[in-house]
């Protein structure tokens, strides 16, 4: 069973755009809202929560545009991990934090994409 | 009121509330998964029951030549589905019914179709047992469903998120393959659409 390559290619490009946006929003949210000077572990836990929440508006937008479990799964991972890492960035700028978050998003989406390629298709019954 | 009836009433209320926004939420999913649904539903034959028809968003994937009974336990969903009856290539009759307690006689249907259904049925194994009862002995169950991922990390995340997600929509961590077998079916085909969490199943009576 297959769907057209143009159909799949457009959706895949959209998924990567969503991943970059989710990562940037989660990282910026956590970087702005988690106070400086917190103990490292506490800052990471708080960043994880704040990052997940900060990614929600972006998640809602991308889900409305071209939703699916692909967006759900990446948003769950990216919001948490980008948010967890962002408070650890010392002396960052808006641009550098957004790029770091987008990088996290990119890596997670590449991993999910690779996992999907290994699982997609017929399962032996 | 019994606990089961209370659970069902709560589910009906939840899906009545969700009806209006459901199409908007599912718009993107249709772009992604529509081709898979169309190819699966093309295997339907004869008298067919579409379980949890929702707003009728799947009517357009039904092939011609069927006699379709589309059920849903949410009257509000059915009121939306009524507006989509002409999208189906086969005639569709809408019936308000709960899949866990069907009024149809044994062995009524040649095919039963589900589409993101058993993530929402409060008692999925009981629902699938009822499906088995109304399916003919040589009938076929065709399912497009999302299930819990087998990857330990992704599965754990789905377990963690599920209590929040199910307040507004379906459960995201159901083990539907196990439920199909527990209800007395044999899975003859399983196809992973996305990871191993969005799947096509084809099953027959064991």
Q: Tell me, yes or no, if A112 comes closer than 8 A to chain B by beta carbon.
A: yes
Whether residue B151 and residue A69 make contact (CB cut-off 8 A), yes or no, is no
Higher pLDDT, A5 or B133: B133
Mean pLDDT (whole number) for B52-77: 94
pLDDT of residue B168: 76
pLDDT of residue A114: 95
Whether residue A121 and residue B192 make contact (CB cut-off 8 A), yes or no, is yes
Q: Find the CB nearest A69 among B157, B190, B197.
A: B197
Higher pLDDT, B80 or A6: B80
Sorted by where each begins, the domain ranges of chain B are 3-205
Whether residue A121 and residue B151 make contact (CB cut-off 8 A), yes or no, is no
Mean pLDDT (whole number) for B71-90: 94
pLDDT of residue B5: 60
Residues of chain A found within 8 Å of residue B203, distances taken between Cβ atoms: none
pLDDT of residue B1: 46
The whole-angstrom separation of Cα B143 and Cα B162 is: 22
Tokens of A64: 């409305």
pLDDT in tens, B46-57: 999 999 999 999
User: Among B55, B170, B74, B71, which Cα is nearest to B122's?
Assistant: B170
pTM of the model: 0.87
Please give the distance of CA A74 from its chain centroid, rounded to a whole number: 5
User: Taking 80 as the threshold, does the pLDDT of residue A107 lie above it?
Assistant: yes
CB atoms within 10 A of CB B16: 15
Q: Tell me, yes or no, if A5 comes closer than 8 A to chain B by beta carbon.
A: no
- Average pLDDT of chain A is 89
Mean pLDDT (whole number) for A33-62: 90
Q: Which CATH architecture has domain B3-205?
A: 3-Layer(aba) Sandwich (3.40)
Q: Find the CB nearest A123 among B32, B157, B190.
A: B190
């Amino acid at each position: 069973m297959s769907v057209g390559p143009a159909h799949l290619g457009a959706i895949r490009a959209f998924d990567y755009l969503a991943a970059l946006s989710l990562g940037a929003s989660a990282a910026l949210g956590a970087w702005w809202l988690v106070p400086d000077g917190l103990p490292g572990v506490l800052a990471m836990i708080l960043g994880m929560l704040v990052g997940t929440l900060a990614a929600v508006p972006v998640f809602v937008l991308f889900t409305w545009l071209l939703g699916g479990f692909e967006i759900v799964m990446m948003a769950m991972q990216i919001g948490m991990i980008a948010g967890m890492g962002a408070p650890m960035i010392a002396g960052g700028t808006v641009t550098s934090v957004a790029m770091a978050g987008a990088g996290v998003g990119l890596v997670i989406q590449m991993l999910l994409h690779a996992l999907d390629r290994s699982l997609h298709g017929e399962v032996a019954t | 009121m019994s606990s089961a009836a209370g659970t069902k009433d709560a589910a009906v209320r939840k899906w009545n509330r969700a009806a209006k926004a459901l199409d908007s939420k599912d718009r993107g999913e249709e772009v992604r998964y529509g081709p898979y649904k169309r190819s699966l539903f093309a295997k339907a034959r004869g008298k067919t029951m579409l379980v949890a028809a929702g707003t009728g968003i799947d009517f357009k994937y039904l092939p011609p030549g069927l006699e379709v009974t589309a059920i849903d336990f949410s009257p509000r969903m059915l009121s939306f589905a009524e507006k989509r009856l002409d999208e189906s290539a086969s005639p569709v009759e809408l019936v308000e019914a709960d899949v866990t307690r069907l009024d149809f006689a044994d062995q009524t249907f040649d095919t039963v179709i589900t589409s993101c259904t058993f993530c929402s049925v409060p008692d999925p194994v009981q629902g699938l047992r009822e499906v088995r009862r109304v399916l003919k002995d040589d009938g076929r169950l065709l399912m497009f469903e999302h299930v819990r991922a087998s990857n330990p990390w992704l599965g754990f995340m789905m377990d963690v998120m599920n209590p929040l997600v199910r307040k507004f929509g379906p459960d995201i961590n159901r083990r539907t393959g196990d439920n199909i077998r527990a209800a007395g079916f044999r899975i003859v085909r399983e196809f992973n659409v996305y990871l191993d969490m969005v799947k096509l199943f084809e099953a027959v009576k064991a």
